[in-house]
Amino acid sequence: MTDAALAKSSLAEPVLSVRGLNAWYGDSHVLQGMDFDVMAGEVVSILGRNGVGKTTTLRAIMGILPKRSGSVSVFDQETIKMAPRSVARLGVGYCPEERGIFASLTVKENLMLPPVVGKHAVHLDEIFEMFPNLKERLASPGTKLSGGEQQMLAIARILRSGSRLLLLDEPTEGLAPVIVQQIGATIRRLKERGFTIILVEQGLHFVRSIADRHYLVEHGQIARSVDNKGLLENMDSIRGLLAL
């Protein structure tokens, strides 16, 4: 993988551009005209209280939802009518909140099962450098992994696929502080290598330590966009918006 070429991606060019994105679960209109951009090499967090559409936003970008409208442009390609497998082949990796690993397969089988869809695939040696636990547990089935190891495996799997845009949904939820630190260090390392990351996360301290910008979601729309300085300066009002 050529890090220099990936890291030099121009921040003037959006990797992801979302306009007027609507999404439904049955008759429930969850996303109501989302508009935002994510630039190449950025780490951007999506914040909001439970039920406002954070996870739905990632699922809509990935094309998982059966009903959506608007525009989602990924690497300059309109994807609103694409199937999830086609979105993935553009270089988009989705790590769901429930992690989505195959419990009956070993760590090695989970890593090797997804196809490599891009030239930026992270080699297994580097994955094991990031997540040494996985190397030690290669022959272990998913059912024998801890929550932290499952999260490591879920992230490692999309890195091996060659994805350049990573959608991470609550990657630190329920994990021990030492594992949270390891996940944070991995995200920083990926950022240094030029990966673009969208992060749904509840921990303000965690996102402030790794993200460049933050989108606050309310009623299925972007209510506010702030950088880290703005997040710190408006912490009281933001905590109110997040109901923390």
pLDDT(3) > 80: no
pLDDT(78) > 90: yes
pLDDT at 204: 86
Q: Residues 184-235: pLDDT tens digits?
A: 999 999 999 999 999 999 888 899 999 999 999 999 999 999 998 888 888 8
pLDDT at 203: 83
- Mean pLDDT (whole number) for 4-31: 79
Per domain, the residue ranges of the chain are 12-242
pLDDT at 21: 98
As its CATH architecture, domain 12-242 has 3-Layer(aba) Sandwich (3.40)
pLDDT(8) > 80: no
- Which of 11-15, 95-99, 206-210, 228-232 shows the lowest mean pLDDT across its residues? 11-15
Contact at 8 Å (CB) between 76 and 164? Answer: no
Amino acid found at 22: N
pLDDT(1) > 70: no
- Average pLDDT of every residue of the chain: 90
Residues 6+ apart with CB under 8 A from 39: 11, 12, 13, 14, 15, 196
Q: Per this entry, what is the length of the chain? A: 244
pLDDT at 231: 87
Three-state helix/strand/coil letters over 166-231: EEEECCCCCCCHHHHHHHHHHHHHHHHCCCEEEEECCCHHHHHHHCCEEEEEECCEEEEEEEHHHH
pLDDT(49) > 80: yes
Q: Residues 108-165: pLDDT tens digits?
A: 999 998 888 877 889 999 999 999 999 999 999 988 999 999 999 999 999 999 999 9
CA separation for the pair 228, 194 (Å, rounded) = 19
